Amino acid sequence: MGDLILLFLVLIPIVGSLISYLIGRKNKVLRDYFVAGVCIIDLAIMLYLSSNVILKGVTYSCNIPNICFQGINFKLDGFRAIYASICAFMWAMTSLFSHEYFHHYRNRNRYFFFLLLTFAGTMGVFLSADLYTTFIFFEIMSMASYVAVIHDEKPGAMRAGDTYLFIAVLGGMVMLMGLFILSNLTGTLFIDQLHVAVEHYLEDGGSVKLLWAASMCLLFGFGAKAGMFPVHVWLPKAHPVAPAPASALLSGILTKSGVYGILIITSQIFLYDVTYGKLILAIGTITMFLGAFLALFSVDLKRTLACSSMSQIGFILVACGMQALLGHHNAYAVRGALLHMVNHSVFKLILFMCAGVVYMNLHKLNLNDIRGFGRGKWFLNICFLMGYIGIAGVPLWSGYVSKTLIHDAILHYLHELHHEGIHGFWNYDIYSIVEWIFTISGGLTFAYMTKLYIAVFWEKNASAATQKKYDDMNKTYISPLSKVAIGLSALIPPAFGWTSVIMDKANSLNLGLMDKIANLGETFMTEGAHHFEAKDKFLDIYSSECVIGACKSLVIGALVYLVIIRPLLMRKNENGVREYVNVWPAKLDLEDSVYRPLIMGVLVNIFSFVFRIFDKLTDHVYPALLFILSFIFRICDKIVDCIVAIVRYLFMSALNNDKEGEAFAVLREESNQSKALKLVTNSLDYSLILFCIGLSVALIYLVLLHIN
């Protein structure tokens, strides 16, 4: 069994979710504090275990046999200790913030119930020792977090939930198919054994194409959750409609569960593989630039932050690509990827909670509506500023450190190519273009974050009466508990960044906190027990070359703000007041223009035609089989009916009996009941269609594989 404390880290939130639901039926305030207490207890246990990992070099492991036939396996080492701790910290902070944020919300019991279930699923992912365990908790996390996306039950939220479920169901099915193939090829799904197993498989003459097929299935599944192009479409739509605490978790930690899987592929299956490195570098570059470009046009506070998340995931993927390309000399890329994961989690925790403060006071997110809200609110201003200059890569803040490491990894690879005499567009110049896109994307980050900061905290609202209303809120806009959650989170970027200045150049050592984190987690992404030499991983991040590189991005960002955002993305309205405008063409929406028509039109018709042919064949050749299948489908139909009934009961409120204290709220709920039920049913139907498509593809593929 091993260290059962790892199992308790997952079970505590699961048991807590049930207890919190029962408490919430009687006492809402006690329920809120209980949920926060559960998250804080998990955080305390996690910090204790992590301290043993850091100080004593202890590794924890736990095996629960005969669960889902394969058993559940957990492990806690350096990298897992880092991200399990971040996971627990983010849940603790958002649970504290949720007490005030959800004060006037409906369906709070439902939200907190699924919040803790999502916590358990996410913790299980980061503690998983094998990919089968990863998959199980990955699906628990995905399904439970769906409820947070559709929490408001408005048409926009339900449509975003459709998209989220689309990605979750299809990505999960494809991932499972990849796990079947990979297990068949290598004989193991244990993460620590994969690299050796893959080497033995290839040495024995195994098929490289099959290995790539399995890995691309995994990349699709994990990349979908990470927000990787082209399966990023859920991310800019789910975050704006989800409650702000849920958005912080979706962006800050759930996307990292996808990155976690991509790191496994990078470091265990395709370690030092140049072809894979080029592929992931290309995808990362597109994701990095496209996310920043979309954020530039957005005039919605949370949508801008959502597109920003996509861009920052792209930065991490670029680092993953450089890990493969640089081979044994990939220390900068490894450490840059890990540290930017950590940084991005913290940045989005801060920024989405700050956005939540704006929304819970105004119930608006459009920049023109919330303009001037932050004037005079110095606590909120400073906290947002910590996230803003951190994510923009300003020197002395943590984002500068991780971005500098990734940037220097690209420059290091260019230097190696030049030293080896390699030239030509595809062999050398293309990487120079990647380096420039990296710099420009950093500049765009600074530009769109400056737009948000100036609009909310420095500009005045177009209406003097509205501005006076905002100013009157300066002493009542946030509770002390929310200040604790946001303030503690906002301390991290400067604490990490300022300590990075402490260096021992004589011994090639950086004595800062971020360097300690990188040392702890780097072995997860290297070969076996391989450790980088101090001279290989030491980088004087405040050398003139590094600072100039960061300043290039900041100058580009300032120019974009002054030359593009102010004159081109702001226009005068009919009253002569300059407003922010979104000039991005709606027709360029990838989901609405390509994915939905393809799935709901072409693919559904194709499968319908195939099944009609199959139906005709069974009528003449397999009547007994048809009878059996019909019986099975009837049972499945009844099961689905039961599920729909349960979902209706859970989703359409009344369970938590939240008292809104307003008579019109009850009337509104009754008038929207049938409409909301239809939206939920449509969402379930949509997901079932996708499930059938994914299952059919998986079965057909496995049959063909068996025949071959």
Rounded-to-10 torsion of CA 289, 290, 292, 298: 160
**Spatial distance between the Cα atoms of 126 and 518, rounded to a whole number of angstroms:** 17
Cα atoms in the Cβ-side hemisphere of radius 13 Å centred on 219: 23
**Spatial distance between the Cα atoms of 230 and 214, rounded to a whole number of angstroms:** 19
The mean-pLDDT minimum among 139-148, 174-183, 512-521, 663-672 falls in: 663-672
| CA 234 to the chain's CA centroid | 11
Tally of helices (H runs) and strands (E runs) in the chain: 30, 6
Whether residue 367 contacts residue 507, with contact meaning beta carbons closer than 8 Å, is answered with: no
**536 vs 522, residue with greater confidence:** 522
Question: How far is the first Cα of the chain from the last one, in angstroms, to the nearest whole number?
Answer: 39
Give the closest residue to 251 by CA, choosing from 321, 319, 302. Answer: 302
359 exposed, middle or buried (CB, 10 Å; 0-12, 13-18, 19+)? buried
DSSP letter at 524 equals G
Give the closest residue to 242 by CA, choosing from 124, 105, 121. Answer: 105
pLDDT at 608: 62
3-state secondary structure 392-433: CCCCCCHHHHHHHHHHHHHHHHHHHHHHCCCCCHHHHHHHHH
Whether residue 256 contacts residue 83, with contact meaning beta carbons closer than 8 Å, is answered with: yes
Model confidence pLDDT, tens digit, residues 176-229:
888 988 988 888 889 888 988 988 888 888 888 889 989 999 999 899 888 888
**Spatial distance between the Cα atoms of 616 and 625, rounded to a whole number of angstroms:** 12
Tell me the two tokens of residue 89.
Answer: 């910290």
Q: Where are the alpha helices (DSSP H) in 128-207?
A: 131-149, 155-186, 191-203
| Percent with pLDDT over 90 in the chain | 32
DSSP letter at 528 equals T
Q: Where are the alpha helices (DSSP H) in 57-107?
A: 78-101
Tell me the two tokens of residue 248.
Answer: 């912080």
pLDDT at 662: 41
Rounded alpha-carbon distances, angstroms, from residue 520 to 50, 53, 76, 404: 10, 9, 12, 19
Whether residue 67 contacts residue 61, with contact meaning beta carbons closer than 8 Å, is answered with: no
**Spatial distance between the Cα atoms of 40 and 34, rounded to a whole number of angstroms:** 10
What residues contact residue 193 under an 8 Å CB cut-off, 6+ apart? Answer: none
Whether residue 257 contacts residue 141, with contact meaning beta carbons closer than 8 Å, is answered with: yes
Mean pLDDT of the chain: 81
pLDDT at 276: 92
659 exposed, middle or buried (CB, 10 Å; 0-12, 13-18, 19+)? exposed
Whether the pLDDT of residue 668 is over 70: the answer is no
Coil vs helix vs strand at 580:
strand
Model confidence pLDDT, tens digit, residues 325-351:
988 888 889 999 999 999 999 999 999
Q: What share of the chain is helix, strand, coil (3-state, %, to 5)?
A: 75, 5, 20
pLDDT at 283: 93
Model confidence pLDDT, tens digit, residues 631-652:
665 676 666 566 656 655 554 4
Q: Which residue has the tokens 């989170």?
A: 489
Residue 615: CB atoms within 10 Å: 11
Report CA Rg, the chain. Answer: 25
Whether residue 166 contacts residue 158, with contact meaning beta carbons closer than 8 Å, is answered with: no
H/E stretch holding 64 reads strand 60-64
Tell me the two tokens of residue 17.
Answer: 């979710």
Whether residue 119 contacts residue 515, with contact meaning beta carbons closer than 8 Å, is answered with: no
**Spatial distance between the Cα atoms of 1 and 366, rounded to a whole number of angstroms:** 52
Model confidence pLDDT, tens digit, residues 376-387:
899 999 999 999
Coil vs helix vs strand at 619:
helix
Rounded alpha-carbon distances, angstroms, from residue 343 to 85, 118, 379: 14, 22, 21
Its pTM stands at 0.84
Residue 399: CB atoms within 10 Å: 30
Model confidence pLDDT, tens digit, residues 34-73:
999 999 999 999 999 988 888 888 888 888 887 766 788 8
Helix pair 131-149, 108-127: axis angle to 10 deg: 160
DSSP letter at 461 equals P
Model confidence pLDDT, tens digit, residues 452-464:
999 999 988 888 8
**Spatial distance between the Cα atoms of 397 and 15, rounded to a whole number of angstroms:** 39
**Spatial distance between the Cα atoms of 553 and 439, rounded to a whole number of angstroms:** 5
Paired residues of 465 in beta bridges: none
Coil vs helix vs strand at 705:
helix
What residues contact residue 168 under an 8 Å CB cut-off, 6+ apart? Answer: 139, 142, 143, 146, 224, 225
Model confidence pLDDT, tens digit, residues 253-305:
988 999 999 999 998 898 888 999 999 999 999 999 999 999 999 888 999 99
User: CA torsion sign, 551 to 553 to 556 to 560?
Assistant: negative
**Spatial distance between the Cα atoms of 553 and 539, rounded to a whole number of angstroms:** 19
